[in-house]
Amino acid sequence: TQLLEQSPQFLSIQEGENLTVYCNSSSVFSSLQWYRQEPGEGPVLLVTVVTGGEVKKLKRLTFQFGDARKDSSLHITAAQPGDTGLYLCAGTSGTYKYIFGTGTRLKVLA
Amino acid sequence: ETGVTQSPTHLIKTRGQQVTLRCSSQSGHNTVSWYQQALGQGPQFIFQYYREEENGRGNFPPRFSGLQFPNYSSELNVNALELDDSALYLCASSLQSTGGEHGYTFGSGTRLTVV
């Protein structure tokens, strides 16, 4: 059974701080996605990574896919209150479904 | 382009009853996946429909069933509701089964409460 574990589960930081969220598995994924979910809404796609070692940047967010394609990280620089939400990683081994991680709930205080 | 629309947004049912949740996929998307998200958890895959056929299923009992229609909209049916079925049910549409580079487009979900 493929599992994706995220750490930390909860994170509360001050505006302007940096943070890193980790997504780990013992399984290899052909691609991995990061989503952000706000209360009362569905997850919204942030990025897809497909190549081992790949790094993608989205403004203040930096995403990295591990060399072995078993793990990923999301780094946020100078966090803002608008970054508050539930961050989910999701991986697929090329079949029909994405396995979602356990989620990291981020709160950025003004 | 329109996004994914789910109805109803909230629902309260009694244990043992049956429920039908509906999803209109994003224009141009032919694949619909359903997920169950318990409070404080990540979404769990229920099943996926591609061109009106079930394309894959997660670890959910047969009382969870679905349909996809020619216009690619979809329904999720749950029979004999149990208290543990209380969750946010998310519908996600995509152009291909794995979502591809553009991933899944999720609806806002249906919050089901079983009492």
d(CA A15, CA A78): 7
Least CB–CB distance from B56: residue in A42, A43, A96: A96
Least CB–CB distance from B41: residue in A33, A50, A102: A102
d(CA B113, CA B25): 24
Q: pLDDT by residue (tens digit) across A13-65?
A: 999 999 999 999 999 998 899 999 998 899 999 999 999 999 999 999 999 99
Residue A106 pLDDT > 90, yes or no? yes
Q: Give the distance, in angstroms, between the CA of residue A46 and the centroid of all CA atoms in the same chain.
A: 9
pLDDT at position B1, please? Answer: 55
Q: Give the distance, in angstroms, between the CA of residue A45 and the centroid of all CA atoms in the same chain.
A: 10
pLDDT at position B100, please? Answer: 67
Asked if the C-beta of B90 comes within 8 angstroms of chain A's C-beta atoms, the answer is yes
Asked if the C-beta of B66 comes within 8 angstroms of chain A's C-beta atoms, the answer is no
Asked if the C-beta of B8 comes within 8 angstroms of chain A's C-beta atoms, the answer is no
Q: Give the distance, in angstroms, between the CA of residue A79 and the centroid of all CA atoms in the same chain.
A: 15
Q: Tokens in use for A33?
A: 């996605």
| Residue appearing with tokens 């574990």 | A5
pLDDT at position A2, please? Answer: 67
* B43: nearest Cα among B97, B107, B101: B107
Residue B98 pLDDT > 90, yes or no? no
**Higher pLDDT pick, A63 / A3:** A63
Residue B4 pLDDT > 80, yes or no? yes
Residue A95 pLDDT > 80, yes or no? no
Residue A100 pLDDT > 90, yes or no? yes
Q: Which amino acid is at A3?
A: L
Least CB–CB distance from A42: residue in B40, B100, B106: B106
Instruction: Please list every residue in chain B whose beta carbon sits closer than 8 Å to the beta carbon of residue A98.
Output: 33, 45, 98-99, 104
Residue B99 pLDDT > 80, yes or no? no
Residue A97 pLDDT > 90, yes or no? no
Q: Which amino acid is at B8?
A: P
* B35: nearest Cα among B93, B79, B90: B90
The 3 state secondary structure assigned to B13-41 is: ECCCCCEEEEEECCCCCCEEEEEEECCCC
Instruction: Please list every residue in chain A whose beta carbon sits closer than 8 Å to the beta carbon of residue B5.
Output: none
